[in-house]
Amino acid sequence: MTLTPEEVVFRTNSDSKSIVFVFPDKLVYVEEGAYGGYILKPKDVGLEEFTEGVVSRLISNARAFYVVPEIRELEDLGEYAVIAQRFLNTLPEKVRKKFENPSGKELITYKYVEVDVRIKKCTENYAVLDFESKPNGLKLTAKALRLYLHWQGSRRYPESTTAGRLVKEWKLEFPDNEVIQKYMYAKNYTGYRGRGSTIYLKIVLEAPRELVPTSAVAPATTKKEIRPIAIKGFLVISRLPSKALLNAALPEIFRNIKIGKKEIRLVMGYFYNKLGTLSRKFYCQILPEYAVDAGFGYIVPKDKVSLFLREVDELKKEYEEFEQQLKDFLLYGRIPLDIDKRAKVYREYLNIVMEYLKKHGKDEEVKKKIESLKIAERVRISLLPFSIDYSIIEEFVDDRVKARVSKEIETLSREIVEAARKRIEERVMRLLERVEKLGVEKLTEKNVEVLKRELDGIIREAEEFGIDSAPLRKLSVALENPEDIAKTAMEVKASSERLKALIKLM
């Protein structure tokens, strides 16, 4: 069993610096010994004893890295909301609900610096190693997103076992849930950390292929077996205003000013949270609906560009409306008529703040800042033409360069097609579940027509990415007979293996 780059990043220590060996089939940490040097033991690599020759061969088959993690707390998920939601949607309801309001969200950047290994001492029971910087060694960067639930205990009411107990229960209760089994773990703390514990859900965002030694990578298939297809579409480049904009643009005047014990914060409640809502709408609804997650970014197929841009235009109008509502509220105390009655706008608080600022001669300065606040202008969503094709390597003369670029195209093509395949699988499953819920009686001519149009869209997406659409066309034909398709849907619902087999045929 070979180790993947994603597994390396997932198993890398996120909370402190470390030195790791990446072997073809495992990741091994080496810790500093009491008398200097780093200790590697036979059991760490699945052996009973060491000789210097054995350790030398092990080292030659592995890569050693000095790893430095950098953690940044996130106020909102922003561009990572889509991938996080995809993981959360697969969780059982009782687990997912806990992560809907996590204690925190972290973006972790790992810096892997390749190091040279020297054997200082070797016995049957252990080897003492030393590490030095490697000239021209690899310098790689990886990223992971971590959502966590934290229980802060005390000496009287300790919570140091809560996280571990819950994760163990979930792993036993949901043995088939991949996210719980593979991406979730717990840490328990005692002593100065307050007798608390934390559950982590760790999602790998970027994992360089170079992390894993060549010998660990599955042998590539021949050119006859895999030929990169031509992929054409548009790459989405996006940047949306976040809640941090309000913190950065408005409170400069209020620095170190407090009313009573509370620090002044001009924008709160509905207006403060609305920016996060608009951002989530783009990353969690619009992008997944029209674009394919290719791992490095989102690609909109050519036939979906007009629909995608229409949604983007509507979103921009929402940002413009929000900006005007915010200014009307801050300048004149007007509350939008169409907002939920339960929404909190804190008009009384605004009046107190503005009165206070007026008293101190700051009100005009604040008004100018509010009037000059630009939110809608900061909505940047662009499409760049994107294509992958063998023809691009014709520009290269050097055969070695051609071979390398050809291999990169093959890998990237496979990743994009696999992402499209998974998306199509999800869309087909949702369509069949709708058919099942409707039942034979409610499958009217109008409903069948809507389902066929949706299936035609799925077929076009499959063909856009070079995926065989024949099995999907069989489903389209089956829709002519509602009774047959309803039975098929119920069978698929009862056994998801049928659907997986169907998709694999594509």
239, 207: one domain: no
In a domain, 396, yes or no: no
Residue 257 lies in a domain: yes
Tell me the two tokens of residue 275.
Answer: 């920016």
Give the span between the Cα atoms of 492 and 447, in whole angstroms.
Answer: 20
Beta sheet of 231-239, edge-to-edge order: 292-293, 298-301, 231-239, 380-388
Cβ atoms of 451 and 424 closer than 8 Å: no
Domain identity same for 170 and 296: no
Q: Domain check: are 352 and 457 in the same one? A: no
Tell me, yes or no, whether 301 and 326 share the same domain. Answer: yes
Report how far residue 420's alpha carbon sits from residue 339's, in angstroms, rounded to the nearest whole number.
38
Domain end (from 367, 382, 397): 382
All residues at 6 or more sequence positions from 19 whose CB lies less than 8 Å from its CB, including other chains: 29, 30, 38, 64, 65, 66, 67, 115, 131
Q: Are 62 and 157 found together in one domain?
A: yes
CA nearest 107: which of 67, 66, 76? 76
Give me the tens of pLDDT residue by residue for the chain, a chain 506 residues long. Answer: 578 889 999 999 998 899 999 988 889 999 888 777 899 999 888 888 888 888 888 888 889 999 999 999 998 888 888 888 888 988 999 999 999 889 999 999 999 999 999 999 899 899 999 999 888 889 999 999 999 999 888 877 888 889 999 999 999 999 989 899 989 999 887 554 567 899 999 999 989 888 988 643 333 333 333 344 455 678 888 888 876 666 544 444 444 444 443 433 444 556 667 777 888 889 888 988 888 776 667 888 877 888 899 999 999 999 998 888 877 766 766 666 666 555 554 555 555 555 655 555 556 766 777 777 788 888 889 888 876 655 555 554 455 555 555 665 666 667 777 777 777 777 777 777 777 676 656 666 777 777 777 877 777 777 666 666 666 666 666 666 655 555 555 554 444 444 444 444 44
Q: Which domain holds residue 482?
A: 409-504
For 439-448, the CB contacts below 8 A with 24+ separation are: 439/486, 440/482, 440/483, 440/486, 443/482, 443/485, 443/486, 448/479, 448/480, 448/482
Given 382, 399, 433, which residue is the final one in a domain?
382
Judgement on whether residues 331 and 466 belong to the same structural domain of the protein: no
Whether 430 and 488 share a structural domain? yes
Do 268 and 349 lie in one domain? The reply is: yes
**Domain end position, chosen among 192, 216, 240:** 216
Which residue(s) pair with 204 in the sheet? 144
Place of tokens 């810096």: 111
Do both 186 and 287 map to the same domain? no
Shared-domain flag, residues 339 and 452: no
Is residue 403 in some structural domain? no
Asked if residue 174 is part of any domain, the answer here is: yes
Is 173 in the same domain as 62? yes
- Describe the chain by its helix, strand, coil percentages, rounded to 5: 50, 20, 30
42 and 154 belong to one structural domain = yes
> How many domains does the structure of the chain reveal?
3
Q: Is residue 222 included in any domain, yes or no?
A: no
3-state secondary structure 54-123: HHHHHHHCCEEEEEEEEEEECCCCHHHHHHHHHHHHCCCHHHHHHHHCCCEEEEEEEEEEEEEEEEEEEC
